[in-house]
Amino acid sequence: MSELTTVARPYAKAAFDFAVEKNAIAKWQEMLTFAGAVAQNDDIHQLLSGAVAADTLADVFINVCGEQLDDHGQNLVKVLAENKRLAALPEISNVFDAFKADYDKEIEVDVTSASALNDAQKTDLVASLEKRLARKVKLNCNVNPDLIAGMVIKAGDTVIDGSVKSKLNRLADALQA
């Protein structure tokens, strides 16, 4: 997967820079999401892995996408077909989304708590995280009763483990040492 990300990053960066320049980030995100979904279709995926000429492959892909792609989106598809990179479109879309989130100063935060959080707790948590991370926060909440109490917060590479289970494990390790 990391190899695919490495392949996708320059294309996503070029598309994102172009979208910013043309003030069309939402349009490009929509086009790439659609094209990525088309590339994941089983029939198209088989076509992409076959021995089909780049021009033919690009034409078929563009015809399948129809009006979902503007001229610039079609040019990207042609370049990807020439470089045999059309299969990377789903990952290009994902990387583009990450660039957009960074541009918009947004971050998705996964919160796993021992019990369901109420609206007031979610509001307080969002406010605290936005202050700490200096970004707009979108919460993805999950419940895991095994935590006993507290919560585990994952924001990108940052993990904040405030669960009782983890504190008990650290205490057990300290007592055994």
Give yes or no for residue 49 having a pLDDT over 80.
Answer: no
Structure tokens at 24: 């069309």
Domains delineated in the chain: 2-102 (1.10.520.20), 106-176 (3.40.30)
The two counts, helices (H) then strands (E), for the chain are 8, 4
How far CA 155 is from CA of 36, 56, 70, 160, 171, in Å, comes to 25, 43, 35, 9, 25
CA distance to 22, 42, 53, 85, per residue, from 76 (Å): 15, 21, 16, 10
Q: Could you read off the pLDDT of 94-132 as tens digits, one per residue?
A: 999 989 988 888 888 999 998 899 999 999 999 999 998
